[in-house]
Structure 1
Amino acid sequence: MTVRVGRHHKSAPDTDVPPSGETSLGRYFPVAVAMWALGAVAFLVLAVTTATAPSSWLVEDIPDSVAAEQQARTALAARQLQRSLDSGVSDLASVAAGIRVLNDETPNRLLSQLVSTRNRYRGTAYLAPTGEIRAKAGEDIDTTVITTTDKPALAAAAAQGISPRVFVSVPVTGPRAGRLVAEFKPEALIRPLSLAGPGNTRLLNKERKVIGATTGFTAFEPLTRPDLDQAAQSAATQGAGSAVRDVDGQRHVVSWAPVTSKEATRQIGLAVVTDRPETALTLPHSSEKRELLLLGVLIAAITVVIFGWLYAVIISPLSALAKAAGQIARGHTDDAVIVRRYDHLGLIARDLELLRRGLLRRS
């Protein structure tokens, strides 16, 4: 009631007090929540910028020495693979020499020893000049893939099934004339590829289809990237080489080398192609990029911890107090104000609870 001396007037609503059923909470703006959210977003943006920005402003040319080193590694892998294939010729030549001078030994025993002591063969067979199998060891192999020749030879079977097949053949002369044929295990073809170093190294046949790789692959799948297919063609026509290619906005060092032999009968058209993305290269600023990436992750983790703690300890209790005060201001005194802490916010909550109980007693 507004009281004036001398005359009585009807009470009128105070212009400074909201009408019944309204409070100043209708105009309440959660400044604390807004500042909390703004701070969290700012620090997260800083973390993302710190982690990703170096990729754009720490750009540098890939040194020629890096490409040359990758080319040398790829050529080394190709040479090692050829040596592994040539070792098949040496192994079968030793067996052929044993067959020529047989005493108590039998071809079956010699072949069994070969398969058990050399883990590179899936199976081997000793054939008569007519093609009849005289002895064999290991798994059954298709001896018709490699043609008869008077010199040691290598051959790669046509695409069939889910596994590449590479064969070696050595003639047997003398009274027990014939030939020896062995099939390499796929692992024997893939193992030397690791010498090419980091990145994905693929072994391709003469049709430029993948028959081995240092990472997961599907046998006889074609090369889907034009730069890799061009590298395979260059290996067949120009020999070993390397180049820096741009693939989907990222630089790759691509190197290639043919698997060659001085003997014409051992040329089967294999090639090794290595694809190494820029992220796998050791460049002068690589360590700086990694450190900034770790710093960005650290900032993000600290932001989540600190702002999560602020929300749980300050923002959420303040919101609950504001809601309770609004309920009491509107005359809703049924819900008790729960006090679970003993700091300043707890004191405010207890005072609100005392106010609520006082209003209940008056009513």
Structure 2
Amino acid sequence: MLALLTIAGAALAVGGRVQGGVTVPTAVLDSQQQVTVGAAQHVRRAVRASELDLGQLAAGLSLAADTSHFDGQLKDFRKRYGRYQAVYVLDTNRQPVARAGGQPHPERVPERPTGAGSSDALAVDRLPVVIQHAPFTYSDGKRAVVVAEFDLASLKHAFDAVLPATAWVVDARSEVLASTSGFTAFQKLGRAELRRAAAADRPAVSLAGGGSVDAREIVASAPVRDGGRTPGPSWRVVTARSVNTVLLPETQARDQAKLAALAVAAVAVAVFGWLYVMWLRPLRRLVGDAERIADGELRAGVEVRRHDELGQVAGALEQIRLRLVKAASDRTPVH
């Protein structure tokens, strides 16, 4: 038993030494940076696609004869894409004339916009959204603007390739707009290494943390804006992946050492359980029987449940008990 536990302890010690010497290859860091850049591109494309979709909706609304035809188109649009908290049309007095979804927020829309556009991330009902708008004319030159409140929670699909890393979309102040994990909207990134990554002006990757492999992580960031004709919002995507989730020779050796230690510990527990059931518990029962006989308690017999050495001892105790009972009865006078 002691030997088994010693082996398990040695295996765990080997695992601990492996943790301290983990080296993450450059290829792993580059891969994390690439998937982060890809996620930033997905975010930019999603926002841009939403602007184009809203422009198509504006073109469709421009064909309507009056505002009574707006509601159906707005409802179909919101249902089709599923990424808007609200879609509505404002007249020249900034009054809603049709809507689908939540309450309109005309105060967040630019006055008399001359073209389509998007706001930066705003808090609407304490949730991060982007206000997108597209002006149009209908029915003999009447002016209106269609507005869509783009729900940034819908950006989570952009992070599929990032998993198992955690990803955040942050604004220029490092405030969180969306994430693959739980977050509070517009709260700053919690850890200093994440905030440093968010402040970088170009794609970056680094190895953060120290000590054991469980405390180290790969942190990468990439801007959503690409500097082209449609640069996108001034956001960044930040990702963090624990080195513990990367298949490295060192971590594999550590995991194998832990697995071996667990296996040895399981064997030790099984052996101890077998010894207890097969030997220790019967021995305790025999000790109790012997003490009872020594104290003169002879009424209860000694059960013989086995045919091995312990059974022979139990049988011998029973013979002793019977002889003591007979001797006691012989000494008792008959009246």
- Normalised TM-score (structure 1): 0.79
Q: Write out per-residue CA displacement over residues 21-54 of structure 1, whole angstroms, 9 at most, x where no aligned residue.
A: xxxxxxxxxxxxxxxxxx1x54234335424632
Q: Could you say which residue in structure 2 is the equivalent of 1:102?
A: 64
Following the alignment from structure 1 to structure 2, what is the Cα–Cα distance between the partners of residues 215 and 277?
14
Residue 172 (structure 1) aligned with residue 136 (structure 2): yes
Name 2:86's counterpart in structure 1: 123
Give the corresponding residue for 2:219: 254
CA offset at residue 218 of structure 1?
3.0
| 1:92 aligned onto 2:84 | no
Per-residue CA deviations over 1:211-269 (Å, capped at 9, x if unaligned) read 322123333333221111111112xxx12111001157421100011221547997543
Q: Which residue of 1 aligns with 2:178?
A: 212
Structure 1 160/109 Cα, relative in aligned 2: closer, same or farther at 3 Å?
closer
1:307 matched residue in structure 2? 272
Per-residue Cα deviation, 1:292-324 (whole angstroms, up to 9, x for no partner): 332222222222222201111012212322343
Task: Tell me which amino acid in the other structure corresponds to 2:32.
Answer: Q
* C-alpha distance 290-163 of structure 1, shift in aligned 2 (>3 A): same
Pick closer, same or farther for the CA change 1:177–1:44 going to 2, 3 Å. farther
Report the counterpart of residue 283 of structure 2 in structure 1: 318
Report whether the alignment pairs 1:75 with 2:75.
no
Does 1:269 find its partner at 2:234? Answer: yes
The offset of 1:64, in angstroms, is: 1.1
Whether 1:44 and 2:5 are equivalent positions in the alignment is: yes
Q: Aligned residues, how many?
A: 321
Q: Which amino acid aligns with 1:295?
A: A
Residue identity in the other structure for 2:280: I
1:156-211 Cα deviation digits (max 9, x unpaired):
45446553222222222572323221112343122212232322111223332223
Give me the whole-angstrom Cα distance separating, in 2, the residues matched to 1:179 and 1:48: 71
1:56 aligns with 2:13: no
1:167–1:181 contact (8 Å) kept in structure 2? yes
Q: 1:280 pairs with 245, 257, 268, which one?
A: 245
**1:131/1:274 CA distance change after superposition, 3 Å:** same
CA distance in 2, matches of 1:83, 1:361: 100
* Partner SS state of residue 216, structure 1: coil
Which moves more between the two structures, 297-306 or 97-106? 97-106
Structure 1 residue 92, shift from structure 2 partner: 0.9
Aligned partner of 2:202 among 215, 239, 245: 239
Q: Could you tell which deviates more after superposition, 268-277 or 207-216? A: 207-216
- Quote how far apart the aligned CAs of 1:358 are: 1.0
**Is the Cα–Cα contact under 8 Å of residues 51 and 294 in structure 1 kept in the other structure?**
no
Question: CA 1:264–1:323 in 2, change beyond 3 Å: closer, same or farther?
Answer: same
Aligned partner of 1:294 in structure 2 is 259
Deviation (angstroms), 1:333: 4.0
Contact 1:194 1:214 in 2 (8 A): no
SS of the counterpart of 2:93? coil
Percentage of identical aligned residues: 27
Q: Cα RMSD between the aligned structures? A: 2.7
Cα displacement (A) at 1:345: 0.8
Quickly say closer, same or farther: Cα 1:47–1:323, change in 2 above 3 A: same
Cα distance in 2 for residues equivalent to 1:128 and 1:285: 64
Separation in 1, partners of 2:176, 2:85: 20
Distance 1:64-1:255 versus aligned 2 partners, 3 A rule: same
Task: Tell me, in whole angstroms, the C-alpha distance in 2 between the residues paired with 1:53 and 1:160.
Answer: 53
Contact 1:79 1:259 in 2 (8 A): yes
Deviation at 1:125, TM superposition (A): 1.0
The question of whether the paired residues in 1 share the 8 Å contact of 2:156 and 2:179 is answered with yes
What does 1:190-209 align with in structure 2 at a 5 Å threshold? Answer: 190-209=156-175
Instruction: State whether structure 2 residue 100 is matched by structure 1 residue 134.
Output: no
Deviation at 1:86, TM superposition (A): 0.6
Gaps in structure 2 of 5+ consecutive residues = 329-335
- Tell me if the contact between 2:44 and 2:232 (Cα under 8 Å) persists in the aligned partners: no
Q: Indicate if the aligned counterparts of 2:44 and 2:233 stay in contact, CA closer than 8 A.
A: no
SS in 2 for 1:253: strand
Distance in 1 separating the partners of 2:310 and 2:238:
68
Conserved? CA contact 2:136–2:143, under 8 Å: yes
SS in 2 for 1:362: helix
Check whether the contact 2:33–2:205 (CA below 8 A) recurs between aligned residues.
yes
Which residue pairs with 1:25 in the alignment? none
